[in-house]
A and B are shown apart, each in its own frame.
Chain A
Amino acid sequence: MEQEEKIRSKVARAVQLLLFKSHRIPGVKGWELKKNLGPGYLSIIKFLNTRFQELGLTIKIVSDDGNELSMSDDESKLSTARFYVTLKDELSLTAVKTLGWSIDEIAGLAVVISTIISHKGSAPVREVEEILKKKFPEWKVKLNLARYIRRGYIAEDGENLVLGWRTFAELDVEKFIHYILSA
């Protein structure tokens, strides 16, 4: 009984760590989970993931270089990776609008991300702006780019733009490119 109570409190702690933002970036690092939940933290996370999936959510693990990891990956890789809770299934266009996004903003972000990918992960800011200006009103371009940077979808690297942490956490980049090419 005591053991059961212990596990329950660890699951509750894991929920707090995963869902409540305590740093600038949401989610939690593997080593932080281990520190708070003990060496068996992965069992707790696996159990929690099955419960989250019933609610249409899932736990996603992303390494420092932006690759998605699985819970069976090497402990040392998981330790430095970040654990996020994301939606499990696809959203409708209407649902995305209720999250505060307009069609223009979503399409703009899609154009920026695909341009960066086509430049092997780093595209000149000026080139991205020129492409956006062909599709959207000029005054909106800088405004939207600043918004994407603020939210972590892209980041500035000198005079270039690169993909940000949020893109790796929220977007299946390979699938996205496939959908763009087959749209």
Chain B
Amino acid sequence: MPQSNKYVELIERIIRLCDEVIEKNIDPFIVDVKENLEKLREGLFEMDEKILVMNMAALLKLIYVILLQQEDVKKRASRLYLDPFLMEVRLMGLDKEKIAEAFIKAFRPIAENEQATMSIMRTAYGYWANLREYRLPEAQEASMPNALNTIREILEVEEADFENEMEKILEEIGQEPVEYYDLIKRDGEEKKVLRALALSFLMTRGLVSIMQDPISEKVWVFKTTPKNIDKHSVALSI
């Protein structure tokens, strides 16, 4: 192998290593700057103009890596640098209340008020326009005034209680599909609307999906993972 090819290969290897560190944001200390500088210095007098330019490019990359190493040292020296393992040990040693208290001491929530924006109105229109209805025989039994009263009661339910109801339903579904009406009526007529609403939220979050059997007209509810859902809207009678 000619001597110049050996240098080209060496310089390219150094540039590749530096690029890896710079682009992928990995630990800059994997580059041994001293050793690589010595390699670049070797045979400097034997290099032609083209290889010297490459050598200079590699030198610039090494300077950038030194800069990254300097930043890393600064970060490690600051109060915010923590070793992931030590942090995990610390968190495992604290109970949930203590962790929550530490969070709340530094937590200042934003004061904000929701209002209908054009984008929300557009999303709402899209939702209603794409709504598909499943007709179910039991739907005729529901009386409208009663349903409205129940909805009024639900609106007063605390968000945390609503989340608890969602968690409860998710646990009840288990691994096997459950029949829709069986599931929402499980806690009696009074909680039927609340449970149907909580179930719809679980479906929106992609944690639950439904499947309709066109022969028996039964609707089955089953667990899913958020990434498996396709986006569509479904109307189910309560």
Residues from chain B with Cβ under 8 Å of A92 in the complex? 104
Instruction: Tell me whether B74 is interfacial, beta carbon within 8 Å.
Output: no
**In the complex, chain B residues whose CB is within 8 Å of the CB of A104:** 96
Name the segment of B14-22, B35-43, B82-90 touching the other chain.
B82-90
Residue from A115, A169, A176 in contact with B110 in the complex, judged by beta carbons closer than 8 Å: A169
Cβ–Cβ < 8 Å partners of B83 in chain A: 118
Q: Are A170 and B107 in contact, CB atoms less than 8 angstroms apart?
A: yes
**Shortest Cβ gap from B209 to chain A (Å):** 15
Chain B residues whose C-beta falls within 8 Å of the C-beta of A180 in the assembled complex: 90-91, 94, 99, 102
Residues of A with C-beta under 8 A to B114: 21
Query: A1 an interface residue at 8 Å Cβ cutoff?
Result: no
What residues of B have a CB within 8 angstroms of the CB of A181 in the complex?
82, 90
User: In this assembly, does B54 line the interface, its C-beta being within 8 Å of a C-beta of chain A?
Assistant: no
Question: Would B159 and A100 count as touching, CB distance under 8 A?
Answer: yes
B residues 118-177 touching A (CB-CB < 8 Å):
119, 158-160, 163-164, 167, 170-171
Q: Which residues on the A side are within 8 Å of B163 (C-beta)?
A: 100, 102
- Against B, the Cβ 8 Å flags (1 = close, 0 = not) of A78-98 are 000000111111111100111
Q: Which residues from chain B contact A103 at a C-beta distance below 8 Å?
A: 96-97, 100
Q: How far is the CB of A146 from chain B (nearest CB, A)?
A: 6
- Select which of A88, A93, A98, A176 is within 8 A of B106 by beta carbon: A176
> Please, which residues of chain B bring their CB within 8 A of the CB of A134?
92
Contact: A118 with B84, CB < 8 Å?
yes
Closest to B223 in A: A139
Look across to chain A and name the residue whose beta carbon is closest to the beta carbon of B202.
A143
> A23-43 vs B: 1/0 string, CB under 8 Å?
110110000000000000000
Chain B's nearest CB lies how many Å from the CB of A55?
9
Contacts of B75 in A (CB 8 A): 120
Q: Report whether A173 and B80 are in contact in the complex, using a CB–CB cutoff of 8 Å.
A: yes
Q: CB distance B96 to A19 under 8 Å?
A: no
Knowing A21-B112, A169-B110, A172-B106, say if A117 contacts B100 (CB, 8 Å): no
For residue B117, CB closer than 8 A to chain A, the reply is yes
Number of interface residues of B (CB under 8 A): 49
Q: Is B98 an interface residue (CB 8 A)?
A: yes
Measured CB to CB, the closest approach of chain B to A122, in angstroms, equals 8
Contact of B100 among A23, A58, A107, A122 (CB under 8 A): A107
Which of A86, A109, A117, A120 has the most C-beta atoms of chain B within 10 angstroms of its own C-beta?
A: A120
Instruction: Note all chain B residues with C-beta closer than 8 A to A51.
Output: none
Bound-state CA distance A114–B119 (Å) is: 34
Which B residues are CB-close (under 8 A) to A143? 167, 170, 205, 207
Q: Tell me, rounded to whole Å, the shortest Cβ–Cβ distance linking B211 to chain A.
A: 21
Q: How many Å lie between the Cα of A109 and that of B104 in the bound state? A: 11
Q: Which chain A residues border B119 with CB–CB below 8 Å? A: 24
The answer to whether B109 and A86 have CB atoms under 8 Å apart is: yes
B residues whose Cβ falls under 8 Å from a Cβ of A: 25, 75, 79-84, 86-88, 90-92, 94, 96-115, 117, 119, 158-160, 163-164, 167, 170-171, 205, 207, 225-226
Closest 9 CB pairs of A and B: A100-B159, A118-B87, A179-B102, A176-B106, A26-B112, A110-B103, A107-B96, A106-B100, A175-B106
25 CB contacts below 8 A, A to B, read A19-B111, A20-B113, A58-B108, A60-B108, A86-B109, A87-B111, A103-B96, A106-B104, A110-B99, A111-B91, A113-B103, A114-B91, A118-B86, A134-B92, A139-B170, A139-B171, A142-B226, A146-B226, A170-B107, A171-B107, A173-B80, A174-B79, A174-B80, A179-B106, A183-B98
Could you list 9 further interchain pairs (A-B, Cβ under 8 angstroms) beyond the known A85-B111, A92-B104?
A19-B112, A22-B115, A86-B108, A86-B109, A114-B87, A172-B108, A174-B79, A179-B101, A183-B99
